[in-house]
Amino acid sequence: MRASTLPLFTSKNDPADAQVASHRLLARAGYIRKQASGLYAYLPFGYIVHRKVEQIVREEMDRFGGVEVSLPVITPAALWQESGRWDIMGKEMMRMEDRHTVPYTLGPTHEEAMTDLARSFLQSYKQLPINLYQIGKKYRDEIRPRYGLIRCREFTMKDAYSYHATDASLDETYQKMRECYRSIFERCGLKTIPVEADSGNMGGSGSEEFMVASEIGEETLLLCSDNACGYRSNQEKTPYICRDALQGVSTDIMQEISTPNAKTIEDVAKLLGIDTYHFVKAVIFEDKENIYLCFIPGDRELSEVKMKNISGATEYWPANAETIETLTNAKAGFTGPVGLKYKDTDTVTLPAAFPSTAEKDQNTPTRKTLHVYFDTHLKGRKGLVVGANKTDCHLKDVNEGRDFTATNTHDLVVAHAGDLCPQCKKSALTETRGIEVGHIFKLGKKYSQKMNLTVLDPNGKPLVPTMGCYGIGVGRTVATTVEQNHDDRGIIWNTALSPFKTYLVSLAKGDTEITFVDKLYNTLKNAGESVYLDDRDERAGIKFNDAELVGFPFIVTVGKRTMETGKIELKLRRTGEKLELTENELLEFLRSN
């Protein structure tokens, strides 16, 4: 292809909102253009790369037994209501009504739609297993779209859904998808870290993310420092294993102490000269119908992901001051587990005029169910400092089992680097940041059961298939590839993803030189090489800068010097190495690379 036919859309300036290399370089190199927050158009080079990623995904999915289909972008609300997710999904779901006031959604994910398709033709266990996939658009109304293609409102995903007669069959396909994903990302030139992950709104028993290590990653990954162990997990999923003995030594009688205006753990710890390790922290959330009271060690943070999974909470917010005072008879900052006015599953009646949602919805009921959770690491603790459920007061020398009982215990806290690995329980965890490019789930029967998908088993009786789900973000894969492969001059593509393999820079001035360039261009094309000829009437410096910026693997330069020496300059974009080759040598080099 010639620049005179397929123009370059490069720019000297970074987008004003570009915060990361991939956004900056893909825009400057003319691969994408922003049309609105989180909405991007793909220019020719960008669309070529996007299609190449799609094709790699398609080839590997087909190789590992996937069956491609295509689903509508718009999904009827009725399918989401069947699964029970219509009222659970938050504001990220883009909802709409047609002219008949029938509700729909712009699909953020397609478990319901694919299961509806599957139940239209699956009748017998003999048709299982089957792994249906599509490569299509997704829509999520992100509150803060950022980082260019990494977090968009509209994006392309490959999402696959497998259906199985047995859990063993699901396990087999799950392992195949792990292998498939490794192959996809290797072909794309990405180095990924597979980690254990939380299933989130998708549900299911098993989940693994494929992460690309990056300082801009929105996810924190915890890895065992012992490579022989090999434990890798998303921080939100990682169990907390305490390094030190949790038992205290105090046998003193519990006593009340005055802590005026000291509301935070840090304030009270400073006032009393006691380490936050010896405190119990209360974290309180609420939604329209429930209050969630969580007690955790004072030196740790509550994992909202773990809390959500345990409680089933979806949309919630920090409890209002009025809720806390009703619950404890004290102002915020003085809540503790000793002598609570209400117990787990009690009904708490809030003041009638109290607006009990973040949106100040006056119609929301004022009676809420209390759910009390204790972190498991509080069990057996002695010598604790806790809120006294009395304003400006705390309790000192509190023992679990004597002064309060930690019931309904769970791992509720965030694990950090330095904590013990939950797998080997010997080595410390280390921390890195990561960008998620792929995610696989064992969904179980969550969707097939709720949507009444059944097939006949060998005995002619109804069988509910178990499911798997496997997703890859195509645009995000493009962006993370750039994050891992660029320098201060521009993008560095591998041959599998580059729009063209060779960037041919023409410095030809006279007819003889122009004729030679055209002949070389046609020779390379006829040999099956992918080549882009920069035949613009521009200065050499502009052409060289653009060649570096767009990032094709090989840069070939032809001009007056070529005519004098009979040698063609070939530059390797990744290493910067330059070679002087004859036309035949150049052709042989490109064929073998």
Residue 77 contacts by C-beta under 8 Å, 6 or more apart in sequence?
A: 86, 95, 102, 103, 104, 105
Contacts of 248 (CB under 8 A, 6+ apart): 278, 381, 382, 383, 384, 399
Residue 576 has pLDDT above 50, yes or no: yes
Contact (CB, 8 A) for 165 and 418:
no
Asked whether residue 214 falls in the same domain as residue 115, the answer is yes
Q: What is the largest CA-CA distance in the chain?
A: 100
**Is 70 exceeded by the pLDDT of residue 198?**
no
- pLDDT, one tens digit per residue, over 72-88 is 999 999 999 999 999 88
The structure tokens listed for 201 are: 């709104």
For residue 525, is it within any domain?
yes
**Both tokens of residue 204?**
């299911």
Q: Does residue 232 lie within any of the structural domains? A: yes
- pLDDT score of 199 more than 70: no
Asked if the structure places residue 494 within a domain, the reply is no
**179 and 107 co-located in one domain:** yes
E strands in 280-428: 280-286, 290-297, 317-318, 347-349, 367-375, 384-387, 393-398, 409-410
Q: What are phi and psi of 182, to 5 degrees?
A: -60, -40
Facing residues of 41 across strands? 33
Q: 447 and 364 in one domain? A: no
Residue range 377-397: mean pLDDT, rounded: 94
* CATH number reported for the structural domain that contains residue 277 in this entry: 3.90.960.10
* CA–CA separation, 84 and 111 (whole Å): 12
* Domains of the chain: total: 3
Residue 246: inside a domain: no
pLDDT confidence band for 205 (50 / 70 / 90): low
Q: Write down the pLDDT at residue 351.
A: 79
Distance in Å from the first CA to the final CA of the chain: 20
Asked if residues 6 and 44 have their Cβ atoms less than 8 Å apart, the reply is: yes
Strands (DSSP E) found in 365-465: 367-375, 384-387, 393-398, 409-410, 429-444, 455-456, 462-463
What is the number of H-type helices and E-type strands within the chain? 14, 32
- Assign 8 a pLDDT band (cuts: 50, 70, 90): very high
User: Would 58 be classed as within a structural domain?
Assistant: yes
Whether residues 130 and 55 share a domain: the answer is: yes
Q: How confident is the model at residue 219 (pLDDT cuts 50, 70, 90)?
A: confident
pLDDT > 90 fraction of the chain, expressed in percent and rounded: 83
What is the reported pLDDT for 203?
47
Residue 210: other Cβ atoms inside 10 A: 25
Indicate which CATH number applies to the domain containing 553. 3.40.50.800
State the Cα–Cα distance between residues 116 and 555, nearest whole angstrom: 50
Q: Which pLDDT score, from 0 to 100, does residue 218 have?
A: 83
Q: What is the pTM of this model?
A: 0.84
Q: Residue 7 domain-assigned?
A: no
Is residue 214, in this structure, part of any structural domain at all?
yes
Please check the confidence at residue 308 and state whether its pLDDT lies above 60: yes
- Pair (545, 460) in one structural domain: no
Q: What is the pLDDT of residue 201?
A: 47
Statement to judge: residues 262 and 358 lie in one domain: yes
The boundaries of the domain holding residue 543 are 500-592
Nearest CA among 344, 342, 328, 310 for reference residue 386: 328
Of these ranges, 209-213, 271-275, 362-366, 497-501, the one predicted with the greatest mean pLDDT is 497-501
Q: What is the pLDDT of residues 95-131, one digit of tens each?
A: 999 999 999 999 999 999 999 999 999 999 999 999 9
Residue 289 has pLDDT above 70, yes or no: yes
447, 581: one domain: no
pLDDT, residue 313, reads 84
pLDDT of amino acid 326: 92
Q: Give residue 207's pLDDT.
A: 84
As a whole number, the mean pLDDT across the chain is 92
**Highest mean pLDDT: which range of 207-216, 243-252, 482-491:** 482-491
Inform me whether the pLDDT recorded for 197 exceeds 90: no
What CATH number corresponds to the domain at position 34?
3.30.930.10
In this prediction, what percent of the chain has a pLDDT beyond 70? 95
Question: Within a 10 A sphere around the Cβ of 435, how many other Cβ atoms?
Answer: 28
* Mean per-residue pLDDT, 301-320: 89
Question: Residue 204: is its pLDDT beyond 60?
Answer: no
CA–CA–CA angle 576, 578, 583 (5° rounding): 135
Residue 153: strand, helix, or coil: coil
pLDDT over threshold 50, residue 11: yes
**Can you tell me the distance from the alpha carbon of 41 to that of 39, in angstroms, rounded to the nearest whole number?**
7
pLDDT value of residue 210: 93
pLDDT tens, position by position, 35-91: 999 999 999 999 999 999 999 999 999 999 999 999 999 999 999 999 999 988 888
Mark whether 189 and 323 lie in a shared domain. Answer: no
Going by their DSSP bridges, the two strands 554-558 and 290-297 should be labelled as: unpaired
pLDDT at 309: 86
DSSP result, 202-215: G--SEEEEEEEE-T
Query: Comparing 196 with 542, which gets the higher pLDDT?
Result: 542
Pair 345, 393 in one domain: yes
Tell the burial category of 542 from Cβ atoms under 10 Å away from its Cβ (0-12, 13-18, 19+). Answer: middle
**Do both 298 and 230 map to the same domain?**
no
Mean per-residue pLDDT for 351-380?
73
Phi, psi (rounded to 5 degrees) for 202: -70, -30
Q: Rounded to whole angstroms, how far apart are CA atoms 179 and 379?
A: 41
Q: Decide if 291 is inside a domain.
A: yes
**Which long-range CB contacts under 8 A does 578-581 form with residues at least 24 apart?**
none
Burial class (CB in 10 A: 0-12, 13-18, 19+), 109: buried
The verdict on 325 and 390 lying in the same domain is: yes
pLDDT grade for 365, boundaries at 50, 70 and 90: low
| pLDDT, tens digit, 9 for 90 and up, residues 139-196 | 999 999 999 999 999 999 999 999 999 999 999 999 999 999 999 999 999 999 988 8
Task: Clarify whether residues 509 and 583 are in a common domain.
Answer: yes
> pLDDT digit string (tens) for 551-569?
999 999 999 889 889 899 9
Under 8 Å between Cβ of 451 and 479:
no
When pLDDT is cut at 50, 70 and 90, the band that residue 312 belongs to is confident
